[in-house]
Amino acid sequence: MNRTARIERNTSETRIVASIDLDGRGKTDISTGIPFFDHMLDLFARHGFFDLTVKADGDIGVDNHHTVEDIGIVLGILVNEALGDRKGIVRYGHAVTPMDETLSEVSLDLSNRPYLVYLVPENLGLCGTFDTRDVKEFLYAFSVKGGMNLHAQVRYGDNPHHIVESVFKALGRALDRAVTMDERIKGHHSTKGVI
């Protein structure tokens, strides 16, 4: 089964070309114009074993918000398209990930019922030029377009870089588990018979 997708999305604020292979090896080619965000997307893909390319040209002269949010939209669409009918997937994923003094956890359900619970400190300031408040915007867009129920929580931590990094690593690891095919699952892993 080929679980890949590619999208080109152009708006008056951003131009994005991206692709994903859910069954990859964690190879990345990412350029968003926001170095810290490039690093986070690289971590997400490497820890999820997704082959991911993202080329974005956004209005970062205004600020990074539109680019970060629109990449969340694009990645959600990519995951949704790559999953196809979602038959045979484990569906649920969970990861607890330490990063020095920080411990984060991400749980998700590829249920096609989007929802975001975000229990992450929201006043962390900047990491480079990246406003850490945009993490929530990214995850919201990603969860809605990806059709996933997504819970992100930082149990403890105080270094902004470590907090954001552990969330992105946990996101990759949790999604990797959720998209895994399981031969015991015939059709959809749901009592409803559909997802």
Give strand pairing partners of 35. none
pLDDT score at 192: 79
Q: Return the number of other C-beta atoms located less than 10 Å from residue 54's C-beta.
A: 23
Summarize the confidence of residues 131-154 as an average pLDDT. Answer: 98
Sequence spans of domains, the chain? 4-179
Summarize the confidence of residues 41-62 as an average pLDDT. Answer: 97
Instruction: Indicate whether 6 pLDDT > 80.
Output: yes
- What's the topology of domain 4-179? Ribosomal Protein S5; domain 2 (3.30.230)
If you ran DSSP here, which 8-state letter would residue 195 be given? -
Instruction: Indicate whether 163 pLDDT > 90.
Output: yes
Kindly report whether the global pTM for this prediction surpasses the value 0.85. Answer: yes
Taking only the tens place, the pLDDT of each residue in 72-99 is 999 999 999 999 999 999 999 999 999 9
Taking only the tens place, the pLDDT of each residue in 92-114 is 999 999 999 999 999 999 999 99
Taking only the tens place, the pLDDT of each residue in 29-51 is 999 999 999 999 999 999 999 99
Give helix 65-83 / helix 134-146 axis angle, nearest 10°. 20
Residue 32 CB contacts under 8 Å (≥ 6 apart), including other chains: 38, 41, 54, 56, 58, 67, 68, 71
Report residue 123's pLDDT band, with 50, 70 and 90 as the boundaries: confident
pLDDT score at 27: 98
Residue 171 CB contacts under 8 Å (≥ 6 apart), including other chains: 44, 48, 95, 106, 108, 139, 152
Summarize the confidence of residues 134-160 as an average pLDDT. Answer: 98
